[in-house]
Amino acid sequence: MSMTYLDITGVGIEFDTGGSKFRALQNVNLKMSKGEFISLIGHSGCGKSTVLNIVAGLYRATEGGVVLEGTEVTEPGPDRAVVFQNHSLMPWLSVYENVALAVNQVFRRSKTRAERRDWIEHNLRLVNMEHAMDKLPGEISGGMKQRVGIARCLAMQPRVLLMDEPFGALDALTRAQLQDSLMAIQADLGNTVMMITHDVDEAVLLSDRIVMMTNGPAATIGEVLPVTLARPRDRLALAEDPEFVHLRQQVLEFLYAKQGSRHASSADVVDSAAPRLAPVAAPERLPAGSGDLGSGSEAA
């Protein structure tokens, strides 16, 4: 057994909603080890972002708490960098300057100006964005902006990388490319990652464990599915791998059979098998993890 790195214990939260209380989470418990990649999946509104925001230190739990490497989380910090669905780059700063902002925040004292420049360029290279360093966010595509958002977080060398549906607004092909980039980077750097996703194939493709949440209110962790597929993972080969197919089936079963009744008509969780029926411009056999139905096109 590996040691606990991030420890979420007995976490519950109650929101004040104009006089009345709304209990979003109840008794959430999760231990992550260093270098582990975990996906949080569950129906829309169940409380995934709330869990992530508590780990980020943006929300304060009503009960329980989060300990990261022996230190309790009480506020946001650069050791827990967050990638949001909508990049949140500063529109008036270039790609380079957006990453520099984070790098200067973390390394102003520990790295020289020249070292920081090298480090910014290195991280932009990791996400294949070095060619667009001088562009403004408004001049690049949604997928490129997400790459910059990821570079900015990686450059902070966080203990945990928190990702809230990072590829949710991207088209299927861009999403597949970014998933592959993220897998390669994580294999290289050993990042500890907690990622929220709506995409079943994405969860299976990327994760060491899939954490499946029950519906709210008072949502909690319903089941945890270990994904023992060998790495590196190849989306084309996995699409027909019986174990991959079985794992995605288990996630679908949790979401639709066990948690599905109240949300049966909602299309918030993506089953990538479904888009084959939809008139999307996709290659013949768009491989595992790239499926997308109804979550919109790439935001420019």
Using CB under 5 A, list all residues that contact Mg ion: 49
Shortest distance (Å) from residue 299 CB to ligand ADP? 18
Q: 48-87: string of b/e by CB count within 10 Å (b at 16+)?
A: bbbbbbbbbbebebbebebebeeeebeeebebbbbbbbeb
Amino acid, single-letter form, for residue 168: G
Shortest distance (Å) from residue 24 CB to ligand ADP? 4
Among 22, 139, 226, 296, binds ligand ADP (CB under 6 A): 22
Among 38, 46, 126, 210, binds ligand ADP (CB under 6 A): 46
Strand residues in the chain grouped as ranges (E): 4-17, 20-33, 37-41, 63-68, 71-72, 80-83, 160-164, 192-196, 209-213, 221-226
Q: Is-contact 25 219, C-beta < 8 A?
A: yes
Amino acid, single-letter form, for residue 139: E
The site partner of 88 among Mg ion, ligand ADP, none (C-beta below 5 to 8 Å per kind) is none
Give yes or no for residue 57 binding ligand ADP (CB under 6 A).
no
Give yes or no for residue 84 binding ligand ADP (CB under 6 A).
no
Q: Is-contact 259 218, C-beta < 8 A?
A: no
Which of residues 15 and 256 has its CB atom nearest to ligand ADP in the complex?
Answer: 15
Among 26, 49, 123, 197, binds ligand ADP (CB under 6 A): 49
Among 1, 17, 232, 283, binds ligand ADP (CB under 6 A): 17
Please give the size of the binding site for ligand ADP, defined by CB under 6 A: 13
Give yes or no for residue 74 binding ligand ADP (CB under 6 A).
no
Amino acid, single-letter form, for residue 60: R
